[in-house]
Chains A and B, each alone.
Chain A
Amino acid sequence: MSEINKKKNELDWYDNPTIITNLILLMTAIIVILSQSFAVNNGLGALEILSGILNHNIGYLLVAIYFVSLKTKTGKRYFDFLNIFLIILYGLTSITSLLTLLQSFGLGSLLGFGIDIIILVYMIHTFLRSTRIWKSLSLSKSPFNEISNSSYFYSILVLSITLLAVNLISTTSFDGTLLALMDALYTILFARYIFLYGEFLNSKKISINNEGNFDQYKEKVKEEVTGFIEDNKLDEKIENMKDKVSDFVDDVKEKATDIKEDIEEKIEDAKIDEKIDAAKKKVSEVVEDVKEKASDIKEDIEEKIEEANIDEKIDAAKKKVSEVVEDVKDKVTDKKKEKKVKEKTEKKFFSRKKPVSKTKVEKTNTKKGSK
């Protein structure tokens, strides 16, 4: 571990992404401050500063936002999102450089457009490699993916140096020369940053590496693994381990068979099967008894239901009898009344001393009849 840490600490400044990002930020600050001070020094007006200098610096300022946010935790967390922001920014820059090319065609504008386009393609094929977009857009099949990481970097390096040369030839002032030099250095540093990220991804995943063939890496890995096995005598160790493991497995098997036999013996001793049969018989007898009782109860219930019907009939008969009795009672009361009327008439008739005229008797009879 200590050797690895030493190796990490021994990294050259151009292989250390932290130093590169710091240098980019430093270069951005120098460019912005120098351009402003030169503008004031050369007596440029407010409109010229706003249009020319601001236009020159706005790209650097926007990229500076990206690198400053990378210094924070939230920026590191949303690294992929920031990369997309950077890609969009460089996409816009490349469109504007195309429009510049159309406005004033020249070697400088052509080289600027070329650098912007290459940086855009380089960023897309490096920053998006470890994201979901790489798979969804199937960027691995892109022809630009065949170009190696170092080829991209050196092409940008060569183009930016050529652009610097063109600018140096065309410039007439010291300020312009210095600013052009700074611009070229900034572009190279930015390309270096992308290169380092690409190298980091290559070290992480061999299969995605643009350099060399996957089969070559496979063979290399095989050779290294076989060498490691031979050096450490891993074959002998593995054989010893195998023997130990097989012995252990045999012991476990023997123990398992012994335990099985013991259990079978115990089952026989306990005569669990016979007990189970007896229990089954008992259970079947109980079930039959229950069935018989249930049938008896059913019969009783049916009988009771029938009895309930008889009661109804008796009630009906009772009602009829009571009706008949009432009729008889009515008739008896009617007869009694008639008898009483007759007895009253006879009593009245025999209680009179004087003979009653026929007309009176008839009158009384008619009155009673009418009643």
Chain B
Amino acid sequence: MDTKPVTFKRPSLEQSAGFDRSVIDYIQNAAAHGLYEIRGMGAKRKLPHFDDLVFLAGSLSRYPLEGYREKCVTKTILGTRFAKKPLELDIPITIAGMSFGALSANVKESLGRAATAMGTTTTTGDGGMTPEERNSSKTLVYQCLPSRYGFNPDDVRRADAIEVVIGQGAKPGGGGMLLGQKVNPRVAKMRTLPQGVDQRSACRHPDWTGPDDLAIKIQELRELTDWEKPIYVKVGATRTFNDVKLAVHAGADVVVVDGMQGGTAATQTCYIEHIGIPTLAAVRQAVDALEDLNMKGQVQLIVSGGIRSGADVAKALAMGADAVAIGQGVLYALGCNSETYIQNGEHMSAIEGYDALGTAPGFCHHCHTGKCPVGVTTQDTVLEQRLQPDVGARRLKNYLKTLNMELTTIARACGKQNVHHLEREDLVALTLEAAAMARIPLAGTNWVPGVNGF
């Protein structure tokens, strides 16, 4: 009698859902190195997002505006609560804070030039203000971060607004990180660090703890700038309803809420994928907090974290945001994850660079290595030349222009003469999750899960 177990062909190649090849690879990497994975960009997992909402445009019950001929205002004013000099932007789309160190000086210049051309703001990052970005940006937001690298009163005075960063969507509760490969002499000097150290930033501010202290810290920044400049408070999306209320209590002019799809130049994957809530859920909580405090319109809300298209911008605005901030989308516009980089007008292949990192265009998240094959997230003297400010500025301007055109196209279709008139009533949800998180009815129904007791 045959005593061997009977083998079946199908199960012998059946992949486990819980322990798929990616999970096995993760476990075996952990076993080999005793160290967690660090990478760049934001959450890669599929999340409820703006894709799960659609607009109800004009028809018989509402009428649309003529797409090209009728006016649709995009002007956006930020910082009306206390600042003597609020910011007046031409479009509600801003450039998110990204550091010199994470990005090259050429990139910072590109961002400034494109933002200036489009009448919007760009933002410094964890590493201080570079002359490249100050000189190229008409309106520059200066971040005050826990590390205070390169932070100084002259730059506070040179800034047009100040953003106190409490957290970031990619890593709420965590500080910044810049691995040694990117800490070149200039970065090291700006951050007062030894060259080549694996730099870890603090996760809490050095001189205040909690919302009551923050109120005094904000007052210090106001006193220092004679109450002229708008003060933003940026939070990574977690307990967003409470955090936004506390930021308002602390005296913010503008609250920036960054959802978990928000990117980073380097952090532990466990942060990126497992900490924070999706942007869609965060926007709703943030708007609820402002409405609860009767502060809608007095304190402006900027939403970031995975904003890619004009449709995303329109949905964020309809949900109640005053503006959005974009980080990763901006990098992709510059050529991040592209097969080529542009040198003297010619496309050059970057494939070898991706190969060396063990990745390929469309998958790369190796910002943390400083070996960006297209010269975006690098401090390498050779690689950084792959992104020239002229090319970067033009591409980014085109991207922002496209987003703005899409935004106004949608707004006109909904019959709005001003993009800020988009409202929740213009939206319906395609999935139960999105309907519940955004508290927007499921398409074709008037059902909002969790509302009115069912």
The judgment on whether A and B are partners is: no
